[in-house]
Amino acid sequence: MVGCTPTGGSADGAAAGDLKVVATTTQVADLTRNVVGDTAGVVVTQLIQPNQSAHSYDPSVADLTALGEADVLVINGVGLEEWLDDAISASGFDGVTIDSDEGIEIQDIAAGEEDHADDKAATDDAEHSHQGGNPHIWTDVSNAETMAVTIATGLSDAQPDLAPDVEANATAYTGRLAELDDWIRTNIDAVPAEQRLLVSNHDAFGYFTEAYGITYVGSIIPSFDDNAEPSAAAIDELVDAITATGVKAVFSEASISPKAADTIAGEAGVSVYSGEDALYSDSLGARHSDGATYISSQLHNVGLILESWGAEPTAVPADLR
């Protein structure tokens, strides 16, 4: 394999004639690497690093250099990469852009998110409300399948001689994703619907909860943006909702400070999942962590959520481990 690098900056392994691909988020980069596989002549560079929020990312000089040298840029879309236009302008990138949200039904921005954005914007010019809709499309595994196919098609169009290998890799990978989707659905369906309750740090799991029949009781940060902060009233409202619904646990997220989750769990008298037991949402985790890949992050998240409901997951299929 010709240097599919997970780090930012220029790909040192690139040779003349290689297709240079830059992927923005950790999830998009992982999907891209799986689609590329061991195809010779393709170098993948990832901009946002493990456990780094996509909302607070600020491209480095090395990142801009890699982007400027790229032939192809793969993005999440739905307004998640709020910094993208400035980065493209600063880097001089003039290649092909693959928008991986193509063909996915985007969830509208929630009324509560709109209200929060309006309140926050009055005091914080940095607030971003994702008016294009909920950008966390990858949390539904079937959406990740669509994203992988879109990426494969875009790469094949960018360099047709790569198409046979890329399309074969995409077929194999989406097969694994379909198996993952079945495993998640089978395990969640085994839990009574009234027990399928989730509270997390921020509004990152809308596609996940809708796809798998989970009631999303609320989030500590009532926003798609994990840089926002909850008001005292929002905290009190969430504690009341936790108490009223019988939620048993509050989940922190790996790329967000667990302090607010700890506070709310303490006030509500429920368990808190944080540290190594935090969910992977806006970012995948470091190499060798449970969240190192998209598939492993989903297994990690669902396993812990099932545990919080008192459910024992079935064995993970061998080719997903």
HEC readout, 170-215: HHHHHHHHHHHHHHHHHHHHCCCHHHCEEEEEECCCHHHHHHHCCE
pLDDT band at 54 (very low <50, low <70, confident <90, very high): confident
When the pLDDT of each residue in the chain is averaged and rounded to a whole number, the result is: 89
Task: Please indicate, yes or no, whether residues 172 and 44 belong to a single structural domain of this protein.
Answer: yes
**pLDDT tens digits along 238-263:** 999 999 999 999 999 998 888 889 99
CATH code for the domain of 228: 3.40.50.1980
Which residue would you say has higher pLDDT here, 184 or 112? 184
**pLDDT tens digits along 89-127:** 999 999 999 999 999 999 997 544 444 444 333 333 333
What percentage of the chain reaches a pLDDT higher than 90?
77
Q: Does the pLDDT value for residue 169 go beyond 50?
A: yes
The answer to the question of residue 1 being in a domain is no
pLDDT band at 5 (very low <50, low <70, confident <90, very high): very low
Look at residues 33, 19, 12, 316 and name the one whose alpha carbon lies nearest to residue 179. 316
Confidence (pLDDT) at 225? 59
What percentage of the chain reaches a pLDDT higher than 70?
86
Task: Please indicate, yes or no, whether residues 107 and 198 belong to a single structural domain of this protein.
Answer: no
User: CB of 49 within 8 A of CB of 59?
Assistant: no
pLDDT band at 232 (very low <50, low <70, confident <90, very high): confident
Confidence (pLDDT) at 10? 45
Rounded Cα distance between 213 and 30, Å, is 26
Task: Please indicate, yes or no, whether residues 213 and 148 belong to a single structural domain of this protein.
Answer: no
Determine how many CB atoms are found less than 10 A away from the CB of residue 169. 21
Confidence (pLDDT) at 16? 65
Residue at which a domain ends, from 118, 145, 178: 178
The answer to the question of residue 186 being in a domain is no
Q: Does the pLDDT value for residue 20 go beyond 90?
A: yes
The answer to the question of residue 33 being in a domain is yes
Task: Please indicate, yes or no, whether residues 45 and 144 belong to a single structural domain of this protein.
Answer: yes
Task: Provide the angle, in degrees to the nearest 10, between the axes of the packed helices 61-69 and 84-91.
Answer: 70
Q: What is the pTM of this model?
A: 0.89
Task: Please indicate, yes or no, whether residues 93 and 42 belong to a single structural domain of this protein.
Answer: yes
Tokens of 3: 């240097």
**pLDDT tens digits along 194-212:** 999 999 988 899 999 999 9
pLDDT band at 130 (very low <50, low <70, confident <90, very high): low
Which residue would you say has higher pLDDT here, 16 or 217? 217
Confidence (pLDDT) at 229? 73
The answer to the question of residue 4 being in a domain is no
Confidence (pLDDT) at 227? 61
Confidence (pLDDT) at 111? 41
Dmax over CA atoms of the chain, in Å, equals 62
* Domain interval for residue 208: 192-320
Residues 6+ apart with CB under 8 A from 199: 216, 217, 218, 219, 220, 238, 242, 247, 249, 250, 251, 264
User: CB of 219 within 8 A of CB of 202?
Assistant: yes
pLDDT band at 219 (very low <50, low <70, confident <90, very high): very high
Q: Does the pLDDT value for residue 129 go beyond 50?
A: no
The answer to the question of residue 279 being in a domain is yes
Confidence (pLDDT) at 100? 98
**pLDDT tens digits along 22-31:** 999 999 999 9
Task: Please indicate, yes or no, whether residues 24 and 172 belong to a single structural domain of this protein.
Answer: yes
Q: Does the pLDDT value for residue 297 go beyond 80?
A: yes
Averaged over 164-174, what is the pLDDT? 98
Task: Please indicate, yes or no, whether residues 160 and 273 belong to a single structural domain of this protein.
Answer: no
- The count of domains in the chain is 2
DSSP state of 122: T
Confidence (pLDDT) at 255? 82
Confidence (pLDDT) at 53? 84
The answer to which of 11-15, 178-182, 225-229 has the lowest mean pLDDT is 11-15
Residue at which a domain ends, from 151, 178, 205: 178
